[in-house]
């Protein structure tokens, strides 16, 4: 999680750190995805800074006013609104806050087609980064359909060069899985390990930070910079590489159930 808003809220808003630690502890104990709920907590930190108090101390009118403020912003309003509402629901449920009589809005889920890169765009994209690490990072995500959290936490020992497959540990649905990768990735990983010599994680921050994985924020920036160099103007994110992987697998003749397994989806509806 980006520490900027969270740390600032812990320093400036009385009671926020205690609330946040309890929130994350309860969710981790319940076996929920940590990365997803860090996004929720980030949005609650922004609200706490804006209002000067924790969400548990806010009146219904204060919450409504902040939600209205988010909706009317120009940048990333839909994502912020969604994560805040989902996070608040979980927070109130964990703290048994029915007595507050706070009604949170429902979230409309418009069915948007995911952004998918063409084969030609993928070729340009994978050639764009200057660093070998960054080229390999984008190549591995596209070639295996990894989630951003899975790419960040991928260990060197999880890469089986002989069998040409990755071992993905305890992903979003708390399941391990194996994913095959191409001979191009075999060569790329081999060269990368000889040159960059990462210590623990396949993708680490740099020479002065051996053993520290690339952050989600840095991975997003690597893709953004590569798209700019490659002249790709789509509204894409790292997850778009995962969508592209699935689409290209289906176009190559893979069954939807096969793609479901490779992606680590618990429900076939998520693959469809």
Largest CA distance in the chain: 60
- Rounded to whole angstroms, what are the CA distances from 210 to 33, 196, 207, 214, 221? 26, 10, 6, 10, 20
pLDDT of 267: 44
Through-space distance between the first and last CA atoms of the chain, rounded to whole angstroms: 29
Are 71 and 198 contained in the same domain? no
Are 127 and 261 contained in the same domain? yes
195-241 pLDDT, tens digit per residue, is: 999 999 999 987 777 889 999 999 999 999 999 999 999 989 999 99
Please tell me which residue, 58 or 173, carries the higher pLDDT value: 58
Across residues 42-46, what is the average pLDDT?
91
Are 85 and 201 contained in the same domain? no
Taking the whole predicted model, whether its pTM rises above 0.85 is answered as no
CA–CA distance, 195 with 193 (Å, rounded to integer): 6
| Domain end among 38, 70, 100 | 100
Of 2-11, 69-78, 112-121, 226-235, which has the strongest mean pLDDT?
226-235
121-177 pLDDT, tens digit per residue, is: 999 999 999 999 999 999 999 988 898 989 999 999 999 999 999 998 866 656 788
Starting at the edge strand that comes first in sequence, how are the strands of the sheet with 177-180 ordered? 159-160, 165-168, 177-180
The domain total for the chain is 2
Secondary structure of 209-270 as H, E, C letters = HCCCECCHHHHHHHHHHHHHHHCCCCCCCHHHHHHHHHHHHHHCCCCHHHHHHHHCCCCHHH
Across residues 21-25, what is the average pLDDT?
89
Which structural domain, as residue segments, surrounds residue 166? Answer: 119-271
Are 20 and 83 contained in the same domain? yes
Confidence of residue 272 (pLDDT cuts 50, 70, 90): very low
User: Residue holding tokens 């980030």?
Assistant: 42
| Percentages (nearest 5) of helix, strand, coil residues in the chain | 60, 5, 35
- The encoded tokens of residue 79 equal 């994502």
Please tell me which residue, 174 or 270, carries the higher pLDDT value: 174
Please tell me which residue, 143 or 1, carries the higher pLDDT value: 143
DSSP state of 29: H
pLDDT of 1: 47
CATH code of the domain containing 266: 1.10.443.10
Nearest Cα to Cα of residue 124 among 227, 220, 221, 240 = 227
Nearest Cα to Cα of residue 151 among 163, 135, 137 = 137
Statement: residue 271 has pLDDT above 50: no
Are 81 and 156 contained in the same domain? no
pLDDT of 268: 44
């Amino acid at each position: 999680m980006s520490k900027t808003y969270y740390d600032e809220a812990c320093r400036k808003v009385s009671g926020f750190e205690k609330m946040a630690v309890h929130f994350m502890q309860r969710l981790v104990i319940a076996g929920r995805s940590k990365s997803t709920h860090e996004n929720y907590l980030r949005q609650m930190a922004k609200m706490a800074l804006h209002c000067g108090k924790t969400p548990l101390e806010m009146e219904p009118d204060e919450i409504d006013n902040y939600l209205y403020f988010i909706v009317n912003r120009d940048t990333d309003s839909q994502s912020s609104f969604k994560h805040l509402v989902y996070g608040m629901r979980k927070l109130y449920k964990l703290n048994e806050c029915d007595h507050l009589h706070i009604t949170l809005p429902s979230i409309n889920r418009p069915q948007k087609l995911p952004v998918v890169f063409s084969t030609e765009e993928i070729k340009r994209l994978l050639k764009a980064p200057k660093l070998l690490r960054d080229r390999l990072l984008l190549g591995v995500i596209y070639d295996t359909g990894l989630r951003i959290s899975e790419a960040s936490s991928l260990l060197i020992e999880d890469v089986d060069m002989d069998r040409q497959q990755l071992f993905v540990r305890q992903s979003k649905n708390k399941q391990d899985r194996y994913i095959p990768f191409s001979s191009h990735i075999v060569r790329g990983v081999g060269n990368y390990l000889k040159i960059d010599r990462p210590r623990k994680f396949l993708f680490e921050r740099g020479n002065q930070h051996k053993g520290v994985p690339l952050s989600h924020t840095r991975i997003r920036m690597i893709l953004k910079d590569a798209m700019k160099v490659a002249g790709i103007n789509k509204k894409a994110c790292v997850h778009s590489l995962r969508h592209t992987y699935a689409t290209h697998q289906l176009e190559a003749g893979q069954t939807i159930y096969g793609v479901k397994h490779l992606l680590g989806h618990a429900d076939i509806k998520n693959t469809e």
